[in-house]
Amino acid sequence: MIRVAAIVVVLLMVASSGWAQAAAEQPAASRPQPQDVFRQSLQELIAYSPDPCGPPYGNENNWHTSAIESRLFDAAQGIVADALNDSAVARAPKDRASAALKRLEGESARINSGWPEENRFHFELLDIAPALVAKMGVRSHERFFVFGIIEGVRGKAHATWSEIGSDEEGVAEPEVARSTLSLFALHRGPSGNARFLAQFGHIGCAGSTGVTYDAREWNPEAIAGLAQIIKQSGAFGLDDKVPGFPQIGDLKTDGVRVTLPYCWFSPIDTWDNPSMCAVDTFDLSGDNAKFISRAYNRLDLLPVAKAIEYAEQRDYGALLGYCGSEQVADGIIRDLPPFVFAGTEIHVTPTGNGKERVELGDGPNYRFDVEKRNGRWLVVTFKSE
């Protein structure tokens, strides 16, 4: 009786194993292939304009294609990973990825033939061995995906390429009209880990441009191998010719020190151009990226812009850091409304050595006296009229 029961148990286990295997294989067999998903996504995009800011104007649907584009990019990165793992192709990893992406470009040229070439699917590769960064774009959006081979804890590499990370911009700003991307290889530290910088531009149909700098480092031996080492966001105006507010610094990525220029919107802007600008410097000579300095285009007006910003937020501690005394900070946080705008013009008048009077507002008007003390500009008096 016991032997019969044992045989029944074994038969049930075998049957159960077979059912489990069939259940596991069924979804894989019916799952759409990345190539099919890519083509289908291109077909779906035909119903929309190649650029949400272009004709036909006023079509709200043209702004909501992020879900389709996300599926397309996911399919493309899967196709690239498969190409990198194709052992039958005796070519360098970059060449294998490039060949696969060129085929996808060809698919888009055929399916989206009615679109301008720059809006069809396109790519660019940055080889920072042992990692490979792929910039991909379609319609008016660009993103990056990073590929590599993850190593085991004892240094034994798995023989499989995979996507090890991607940008966060496509998720954070899915409905931005246009996003542009530039990639730059960065100096490697003593460990030799691959590094790169992604510069994103976020562009509307008119007006100023947002900018985001995103630097990453790839350590194939770490569990969370693709680490963000620099992140800075800002904006640029319609042009770089704001009267009295020159932009400062240039983008530099080819040395041990990296410089990242940007501007930002502040209460002392007089139109759709950010007046205050800065440039951040980072040192990449070591294994950890180190912030070195931040330089400003108008140090004399920085305390005014910051004082208004922190007073609007009712952040007294931060406000006090830009004021010459507690009495001045008390007056600013008490008298300023929740929103202050400089108006059409800002007046700066020298009143002595290292002293200025700053007047802004179309009514009510606000007057700030600033003074340079021990190398820092501070608000020393404030008056609201």
pLDDT at 255 over 70: yes
Q: Identity (one letter) of the amino acid at 168?
A: E
What's the average model confidence in pLDDT over 361-385? 92
Kindly state the tokens that stand for 126. Answer: 């940055």
Beta-sheet pairing, 226-236 with 276-283 = unpaired
Give per-residue pLDDT as tens, 126-168.
Answer: 999 999 999 999 999 999 999 999 875 445 545 789 999 999 8
Secondary structure string (H, E, C) spanning the chain? CHHHHHHHHHHHHHHHHHHHHHHHHHHHHHCCCHHHHHHHHHHHHCCCCCCCCCCCCCCHHHHCCHHHHHHHHHHHHHHHHHHHCCCCCCCCHHHHHHHHHHHHHHHHHHHCCCCCHHHCCEEEEEEECCEEEEEEEECCEEEEEEEEEEECCCCCEEEEEEEEEECCHHHHCCCCCEEEEEEEECCCCCCCCEEEEEEEEEECCCCCEEEEEEEEEECCCCCCCEEEEEEEEEEECCCCEECCEECCCCCECCCCEEEEEEEECCCCCCCCCCCEEEEEEEECCCCCCEEEEEEECCCCCHHHHHHHHHHHCCCHHHHHCCECCHHHHHHHHHHCCCCCCCCCCEEEEEEECCEEEEEECCCCCEEEEEEEECCEEEEEEEEEC
Match domain 302-384 to its CATH number in 3.20.20.240, 3.10.450.50, 3.30.450.40, 3.40.50.2000: 3.10.450.50
Please report, for the chain, the start and end positions of each structural domain, with discontinuous segments joined by +. 34-56+64-296, 302-384
pLDDT at 19 over 80: no
Give per-residue pLDDT as tens, 295-312.
Answer: 999 999 999 999 999 999
Q: Are 353 and 373 in contact (CB under 8 A)?
A: no
pLDDT at 233 over 70: yes
Weakest mean pLDDT among 86-95, 103-112, 251-260: 86-95
Give per-residue pLDDT as tens, 25-63.
Answer: 445 556 789 999 999 999 999 999 999 988 877 677 888
How many percent of the chain have pLDDT more than 70?
88
